[in-house]
Structure 1
Amino acid sequence: MSGLFHRLRATARLMVGMPDYDAYLRHMAAHHPDRVPMDRTTFFRDRQQARYGGKSGGRCC
């Protein structure tokens, strides 16, 4: 049951555009152990930048 809850929570967060920092840390540890992971604040800023871009003036649509 706990695993199902975590998957549902992760899915809900992705639906609203909130990436999973814990999954990022697991990925970094498993695939890039030689690199220092971003802190939580930097991670969320990076994900927002990737999603919405850095264009000033907002989106047109």
Structure 2
Amino acid sequence: MTPRIRHLLARARETALMMVGQPSYAAYLQHMAEHHPGHAAMDPAAFFRDREQARYGGKGGGRCC
């Protein structure tokens, strides 16, 4: 598989995840590094649970900024 096709597939996966309300963990890590450098980032499992809770109900959730 060529690098271009690999890149296109990765972008398609990211788009599909955003369409169902599951943001990118890599984008989350970048956001944390840029905007909250003193805070520890969630691990992938905690990130998934947090985003699912924010999307499907419960108190709080949502965006940090």
Per the normalisation by structure 2, the TM-score is 0.67
Alignment-derived partner of residue 54 in structure 2: 50
Alpha-carbon distance between aligned partners in 1 of 2:38 and 2:10, rounded to the nearest angstrom = 28
Query: What stretches of structure 1 move > 6 A for 4+ residues in a row?
Result: none
Q: Residue 17 of structure 2: which of 13, 17, 22 is its match? A: 13
| Ranges in structure 2 where 5+ consecutive residues have no aligned partner | 59-65
Alignment-derived partner of residue 29 in structure 1: 33
Name the count of aligned residue pairs.
Answer: 55
Aligned letter for 2:14?
A
Q: Write out per-residue CA displacement over residues 21-59 of structure 1, whole angstroms, 9 at most, x where no aligned residue.
A: 0000000001100000001000000000000013xxxxx
Q: CA RMSD in A?
A: 1.9
Aligned letter for 1:38?
M
Aligned letter for 2:35?
H
Percent identity between the aligned chains? 59
After TM superposition, the structure 1 stretch with the greater mean CA deviation from structure 2, 3-12 or 30-39, is: 3-12
